[in-house]
Structure 1
Amino acid sequence: MNTTGLTLAGLAAALVVLYANLRPWWAGNRDAKQLAAFGKGSALGIVSAVCPGGILGWAHTHSATAANEGGSRLTSGTTGVQTTAPVAHRALSGLTPAGAVVVVVIAFGVVLAWRAAGKKDKKRIVGGAFVASVLCLSAGVVGLLTWVPGTLNSIGNSIQGAL
């Protein structure tokens, strides 16, 4: 199995988790508050995709392995078909030291939110981080998010300049 990049099976795993989190919101009253926990986790997953190393970079890199293995079991067990074909890969890059400070603050905020959350919201935060990190392994999503490193760096530069 290809664990260095995302496969169709890994994409399936991320889409199942995404669907599981969006469906209650869609079927309910569509209150944005229902998506808050998932959104916080998604923010962490996106900023982890910008990190070239450290714990966040490691978690992002290894999210492909978890998604690919879980998705492979899911798709082959459900359909009997192996879905190990790779998905086009691209990476977010260009984080500066000032941008890294912003990433740390965002990550710390999400960790504090996770610690204060109830059991269901903790799962939603983890699910959001997983889905965003996995989707940020695909060329299409990375193409949509190429602005993220520059924005993090700009915010960090603004903070550094103000201080």
Structure 2
Amino acid sequence: MTGPGLTLAGIALVLVILWANLRPWWKSDRDPAKLKSFGTGSLLGALSTMCGGGLLGYIAGCAAGAANTGGGKAVAGATGQQAGAPVTTGDLGSLTPEGAVVVFLLTCGTIFAFRAAGRDERKRMVGGVFCGVCLCLTAGVANALSWLPGLINGAGAQLITAVQGVGLL
């Protein structure tokens, strides 16, 4: 994934979206099922940062620019100060061809869930994708999720082993 890094204002916008999605859940009964849509989107966003190209890589590349622009205008409009200082960037790594198949399958599942979801759930999914991409571009979150590329690439390797072991390929 290539593209701009995040600024402090961009992170501020992402944190507002994250807060808007987590606060109602925290104030209610904290049922984990109520985070499904946001979590699904967040996972897809995180996986998008590992894509070197394609539609997911393009979305990941555009998200940081959108966060920086929107956050810059919001922070400057609210406070009169610019908060365009860059934050330390992180990188989750890259996909193997087998891992790319797993990401493709997860993307298809997310699209199916999006199409079946109601309006509010769709908004939560889109917010999750945005937050997932942007937060995974920071050094702290990328470091905390450093296990994710190995899991996805390993799942793809297991998939190809299972298919070849059955004699289908």
2:30 and 2:90 map into 1 onto residues whose CA distance is 33
Secondary structure, counterpart of 2:38 in structure 1? helix
Counterpart residue identity of residue 84, structure 1: G
Segment of structure 1 superposing worse, 123-132 or 90-99: 90-99
1:124 aligns with 2:120: no
Q: Which residue of 1 aligns with 2:166?
A: none
Matches within 5 A, 1:6-155: 6-155=6-155
1:16 and 1:162 map into 2 onto residues whose CA distance is 43
Return the offset for 1:59. Answer: 0.6
1:92 and 1:32 map into 2 onto residues whose CA distance is 25
Segment of structure 1 superposing worse, 120-129 or 28-37: 28-37
Counterpart residue identity of residue 66, structure 2: A
Kindly name which structure, 1 or 2, has the bigger radius of gyration based on alpha carbons: 2
- Over residues 130-156 of structure 1, what are the superposed CA-to-partner deviations in whole Å (9 max), with x where a residue is unaligned? 001000111111111111111111000
Return the offset for 1:73. Answer: 1.0
Return the offset for 1:49. Answer: 1.0
Q: Is the 8 A contact 1:52 1:93 kept in 2?
A: no
1:35 and 1:87 map into 2 onto residues whose CA distance is 28
Secondary structure, counterpart of 2:90 in structure 1? coil
Provide the aligned C-alpha RMSD in A: 0.9
1:52 and 1:156 map into 2 onto residues whose CA distance is 17
2:11 and 2:97 map into 1 onto residues whose CA distance is 31
- Over residues 14-45 of structure 1, what are the superposed CA-to-partner deviations in whole Å (9 max), with x where a residue is unaligned? 00000000011011111112111101101110
Counterpart residue identity of residue 54, structure 1: G
Counterpart residue identity of residue 7, structure 1: T
- State the TM-score, normalized to the length of structure 1: 0.96
4+ runs of 1 displaced by more than 2 Å? none
Secondary structure, counterpart of 1:105 in structure 2? helix
Percent of counterpart pairs with the same letter? 49
Count of paired positions: 161
2:90 and 2:37 map into 1 onto residues whose CA distance is 27
Secondary structure, counterpart of 2:49 in structure 1? helix
Return the offset for 1:94. Answer: 2.8
1:91 and 1:59 map into 2 onto residues whose CA distance is 16
